[in-house]
């Protein structure tokens, strides 16, 4: 999972502002995922993509948007519609047709 | 959809003792069961996984057992060390078409006391 990078490590959002979290992988994985983790909690799926130019909503997609224009990249935008965005955001990737997922180092989003 | 329950939520053991964490799942079609270790502020790391065609898998001090009839799988850590202290998550797949989603348990905070 060293081939998955996320940036920035910390991100501060002002009220009403959209922010974008970056996720890049050089593992040639087809599938990519975004999870949200709240303190002391498990992982909740926001969005996932099995192939370029296609993505699906997860359990908590409201207030978030994604794009998958390149195989290597799966950016997540936290929109102003997400009223409680403070959390640890984890990106993951995995080979197509396999369930195994490998995680990036995460981005911690805080609201000013 | 898949529902994965994980127990216990916290576990404290003395250094050198064994630790066992158990997860139950609901979908009998599930065939892949990974375990992740997450240290404070870090990413979850895949430490071991098992597929449904085997009942047990070992890797040094860690092992995973699977009971398909009872629909549960367990993580076993022997000879625990302070560096084993972390949150451990189990997961099981959601068999929804061609998608390969995982549903995660709620996590177990393991503390190894020196």
For residues B26 and A95, give the distance between their C-alpha atoms in angstroms, rounded to a whole number: 25
- Tens of pLDDT, residue by residue over B18-74, are 999 999 998 888 889 999 999 999 999 999 999 988 889 999 999 999 999 999 999
pLDDT at B93: 86
The answer, for A111 touching chain B at a CB cutoff of 8 Å, is no
Helix (H, G, I), strand (E, B) or coil at A32: strand
- Tens of pLDDT, residue by residue over A52-77, are 999 999 989 999 999 999 999 999 99
pLDDT at A94 over 70: yes
Does A43 sit within 8 Å of B44, measured CB to CB? Answer: yes
Rounded to a whole number of angstroms, the distance from the CA of A56 to the nearest CA of chain B is 9
Contact residues on chain A for B88, CB-CB shorter than 8 A: none
Place of tokens 């009839």: B69
Does B100 sit within 8 Å of A99, measured CB to CB? Answer: yes
pLDDT at A97: 77
Contact residues on chain B for A1, CB-CB shorter than 8 A: 43, 45-46
For residue A8, say if its preceding peptide bond is cis, omega within 30 degrees of 0: yes
- Tens of pLDDT, residue by residue over B97-112, are 545 788 999 999 999 9
Rounded to a whole number of angstroms, the distance from the CA of A67 to the nearest CA of chain B is 17
pLDDT at A2 over 70: no
pLDDT at B98: 47
Q: Who has greater pLDDT, B94 or B35?
A: B35
pLDDT at A106 over 60: yes
């Amino acid at each position: 999972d060293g081939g998955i990078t996320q940036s920035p490590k910390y991100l501060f959002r002002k009220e009403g502002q959209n922010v974008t979290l970056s996720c890049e992988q050089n593992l040639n994985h087809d599938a990519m995922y975004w999870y949200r983790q709240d303190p002391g909690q498990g992982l909740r799926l926001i969005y996932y993509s099995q192939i370029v130019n296609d993505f699906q909503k997860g359990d908590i997609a409201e207030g978030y948007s994604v794009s998958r224009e390149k195989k290597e990249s799966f950016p997540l935008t936290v929109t102003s519609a997400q009223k409680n965005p403070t959390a640890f955001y984890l990106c993951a990737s995995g080979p197509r047709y396999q369930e195994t997922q490998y995680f990036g180092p995460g981005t911690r989003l805080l609201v000013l | 959809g898949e529902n994965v329950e994980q127990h216990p939520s916290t576990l404290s053991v003395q250094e050198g003792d064994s630790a066992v964490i158990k997860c139950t799942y609901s979908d009998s079609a599930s065939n892949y069961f990974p375990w992740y270790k997450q240290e404070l502020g870090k990413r979850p790391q895949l430490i071991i996984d098992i597929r449904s065609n085997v009942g047990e898998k070992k890797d040094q001090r860690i092992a995973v057992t699977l009971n398909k009839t009872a629909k549960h799988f367990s993580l076993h850590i022997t000879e625990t060390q302070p560096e084993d202290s972390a949150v451990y998550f189990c997961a099981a797949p959601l068999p929804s078409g061609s998608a390969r989603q995982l549903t995660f348990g709620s996590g177990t905070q393991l503390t190894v006391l020196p």
